[in-house]
Amino acid sequence: MTPEQAIRGRAAELGFDLCRFTTAEPPASRGHFDEWLQRSYHGEMGWLERTAARRRNLQEALPGAASVVAVAAAYGCEGSAPPPAAERAACVAAYARHTDYHEVFAPRLERLARFVDEQAGPPNRSLWHTDSGPVLERDLAQRSGIGFIGKHTNLIGRAHGNWLLLGEILTTARLVPDSPEKNRCGTCSRCIQACPTGAIVAPFTLDARRCISYLTIELKGPIPLPLRPLIGNRVFGCDDCLAVCPWNRFSQQGALMLDHVRADLTAPRLAQWLELDAAGFNARFRGTPLMRAKRRGLLRNVCVVLGNVGSADNLPALHRAATDPEPLIAEHAQWAIEQIQARTRGGA
């Protein structure tokens, strides 16, 4: 058995659906990444600029790196599309309706990295990453053959569609690289047309400052007024560009994340979330991706969604939120109240 076969087998034992190999050469997309930063498309995600050198050159992350082990786990297929806003059910992005995958991946990637070192023998070293690490992981995943980067800038797998979570192991071991995947978007532009805010400004180029995932997760301050109505019922993240991709017809559900589904995050009732204090927020969302938005960010999002699709029944909860000691929540609650009152008057 070759080292590559042994590593691939161990990855499967650990629950990963795909495991492939590539070199540690600089990512092909580094020039596009630099241009993206220069246009400030990263918004307030300053760490992307601060760690740019390490993302361009894997030797900055692990001196002597020779290979990359790229792994992926599928997290959804049927039922991953967001519910229509008309249903007034809030939508949490499909990946976030699970335990935080960083926590699921971390012990498995650590064990796989140790296995890689055992297969390669001393003095080889390995370093594992999820997307919290400074690597251009989609570039590496495409180069290893796991999938291809679509026009929406996300990775698409031919066997799993758009529903893939990625991890990487940089290693000084020299492993036989797999063939890269080529782009298979063709003339399709469904993802560009589906984006509610026009954030995909050109094929393969995303202006994160307009992306609902950025606005509801990474943005720390107020959501710009013109963009609030466009958020619709999306309270954390957005799957619209992913859900319309025709490659999803081949998608398969992986077992790893299926064991970590959080059913309580499917079509939640948001008025209840507005009642959560800091302790209640931590208790309810601990171990999920929603913790990243913190209480102030998530309740800000809740107010925006209720302002878009809520009814007069939600006004009491919003009035209480409008007195929240956190100004960010209070301001968005007041905005939501005004939106509901305007709809009520218009329907009278």
- Of 131, 207, 239, 240, which residue is the catalytic one? 131
Q: Is residue 184 part of a domain?
A: no
Q: Containing domain of residue 110, as a range?
A: 3-81+98-171
Query: Residue 240 catalytic?
Result: no
126 shares a domain with 30 = yes
Q: What is the pLDDT of residues 199-254, one digit of tens each?
A: 999 999 999 999 999 999 999 999 999 999 999 999 999 999 999 999 999 888 89
What is the arithmetic mean of pLDDT over 19-24?
Answer: 98
**Total of domains in the chain:** 2
Task: Provide the 3-class DSSP secondary structure of residue 347.
Answer: helix
Q: Is residue 254 part of a domain?
A: no
Q: Is residue 52 part of a domain?
A: yes
Average pLDDT of the chain to the nearest whole number: 93
162 shares a domain with 194 = no
Does 86 score more than 50 pLDDT?
no
215 shares a domain with 158 = no
**Distance of alpha carbon 348 from alpha carbon 343, whole angstroms:** 9
Please name which of 20, 341, 342, 17 lies closest in space to residue 176, comparing C-alpha atoms.
Answer: 20
pLDDT reported for residue 87:
44
Q: Is residue 93 part of a domain?
A: no
Are 311 and 88 within 8 A, CB to CB? yes
Residue 88 binned pLDDT confidence (cut-offs 50, 70, 90) = low
pLDDT reported for residue 278:
96
338 shares a domain with 199 = yes
Q: What is the pLDDT of residues 144-157, one digit of tens each?
A: 999 999 999 999 99
